[in-house]
């Protein structure tokens, strides 16, 4: 019997990816159905439903599920879920489909990713989109103040821009997933399914596993967070997003190379597993931190490392909102419907010259000027601008890889700094 945390939802791993003769038959059927184009976000969502990463979801959400998730963090059946997983469609496509119809979902590369049985279609008005943004993406930071949010969010919040750009209708219903896209080949050895990660953890004899979420290159602060977790858990799962990011972010291939350099030089390999997952970032701040914990439960993780400004965007969120939100979510009576993966809350970390090592606000008594403030956004900004990197900001092996990447760019995207990224709010 497995010692790992049970998958979310109380139904085991729910995998919608077809195999064998059933897959081949459904692929042929898919060619005969009406085809609907999908976004990169929906493509990643489909793959996660296919491999069991979004257990217990079996398809895109109904309006009742969408409303319950936005308002109360709960699906209509009472299962915890933190962010909407919906499928956007144009009015023209929605008008051509009836409930009970089957359709094919095609990604931007032209690949037929899934078939779907329509159980509901519902309008997503401008007011609905704004309501979702205010419930899911609005935080407690300066840019989320009532008199400021809509003045800045449409320009500066990629998650809000993504929601507001959705089409006029949503389609709901169960899916049969036909493909994992190019992830297994493109990220061979890193991309893995929940079944694969669970098998690795069980082979190692782990029962307590912490996950480190990464969308930026792994710098000294990330390394320190992972090592704190190694001390209190059986092992750490360094789990990188390998889906799409916003312009200016560093590609997954480069980030994976950086992680490999760190694992080779600075970790006991028996206690570390590197993996990748196929989602696009939603940039939902604290809600995304909850999503990170929810699908990590399916991967066999029972502790989610949540540090400073986890999944943050600009100044829309307070530094530790993503930690606090774990104390505010509902806990359904049925344990299977609860979020079982708990946060491993760690304070702001940095290198302190006086401490002569990595430290946090809980351990270091010194002043801001004694510290090298570590931030993925700051690192990208300095590298993009060709600036010098302060001592102890990152490992030399990692900085060499990143400099080579930036030197090879022909076009650079301006990177906007957060006010607290530069340490403005550090005492």
Query: In whole angstroms, what is the distance from residue 30 CA to residue 17 CA?
Result: 14
Query: In whole angstroms, what is the distance from residue 22 CA to residue 46 CA?
Result: 18
CB 194 within 8 A of CB 341: no
Burial class (CB in 10 A: 0-12, 13-18, 19+), 384: middle
Catalytic residue among 41, 198, 215, 308: 215
CB atoms within 10 A of CB 396: 10
215 as an active site residue: the answer is yes
Query: In whole angstroms, what is the distance from residue 358 CA to residue 371 CA?
Result: 9
Query: In whole angstroms, what is the distance from residue 373 CA to residue 366 CA?
Result: 13
CB 172 within 8 A of CB 349: no
Place of tokens 């840019």: 143
Residue 380 has which token pair? 């990208």
Place of tokens 């209708």: 169
CB 201 within 8 A of CB 4: yes
Residue 126 has which token pair? 């401008």
Kindly give, in sequence order, each residue whose CB lies less than 8 Å from that of residue 238, ignoring residues fewer than 6 positions away: 211, 212, 214, 218, 226, 259, 263, 272, 273, 274, 275
Catalytic residue among 43, 216, 298, 302: 216
Residues labelled catalytic: 215-216
């Amino acid at each position: 019997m497995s010692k790992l945390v049970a998958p979310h939802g109380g139904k085991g791993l729910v995998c919608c990816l077809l195999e064998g003769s059933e897959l081949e038959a459904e692929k042929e059927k898919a060619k005969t159905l009406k085809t609907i184009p999908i976004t990169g976000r929906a493509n990643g969502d489909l793959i996660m439903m296919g491999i069991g990463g979004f257990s217990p979801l079996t398809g895109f959400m109904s309006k009742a599920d969408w409303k319950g998730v936005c308002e109360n963090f709960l699906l209509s059946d009472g299962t915890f879920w933190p962010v909407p997983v919906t499928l956007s469609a144009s009015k023209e496509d929605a008008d051509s489909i009836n409930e009970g119809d089957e359709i094919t979902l095609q990604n931007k590369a032209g690949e037929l990713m899934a078939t779907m049985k329509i159980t509901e279609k519902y309008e997503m008005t401008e007011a609905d989109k704004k309501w979702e943004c205010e419930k899911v993406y609005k935080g407690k930071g300066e840019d989320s103040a009532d008199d400021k949010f809509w003045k800045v969010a449409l320009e500066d919040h990629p998650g809000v821009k993504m929601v507001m750009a959705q089409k006029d209708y949503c389609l709901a219903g169960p899916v049969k997933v036909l493909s994992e896209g190019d992830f297994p080949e493109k990220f061979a050895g890193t991309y893995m399914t929940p079944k694969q990660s669970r098998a690795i953890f069980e082979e190692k004899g782990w029962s307590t596993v912490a996950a480190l979420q990464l969308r930026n290159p792994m710098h000294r602060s990330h390394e320190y967070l992972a090592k704190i977790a190694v001390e209190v858990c059986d092992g750490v799962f360094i789990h990188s997003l390998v889906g799409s990011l916003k312009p200016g972010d560093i590609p997954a291939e480069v980030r994976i190379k950086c992680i490999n350099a760190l694992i080779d030089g600075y970790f006991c390999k028996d206690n570390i597993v590197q993996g990748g997952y196929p989602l696009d970032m939603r940039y939902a701040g604290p809600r995304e931190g909850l999503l990170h914990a929810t699908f990590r439960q399916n991967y066999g993780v029972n502790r989610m490392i949540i540090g400073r400004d986890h999944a943050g965007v600009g100044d829309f969120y307070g530094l530790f909102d993503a930690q606090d939100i774990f104390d505010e979510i509902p806990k359904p009576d049925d344990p299977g419907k609860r979020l079982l993966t708990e946060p491993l809350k760690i304070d702001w970390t940095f290198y302190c010259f006086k401490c002569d090592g990595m430290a946090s606000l809980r351990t270091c008594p010194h002043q801001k000027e004694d510290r090298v403030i570590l931030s993925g956004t700051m690192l990208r900004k300095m590298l993009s601008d060709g600036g010098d990197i302060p001592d102890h900001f990152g490992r030399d092996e990692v900085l060499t890889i990143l400099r080579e990447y930036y030197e090879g760019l022909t076009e650079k995207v301006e990177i906007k700094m957060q006010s607290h990224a530069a340490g403005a709010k550090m005492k």
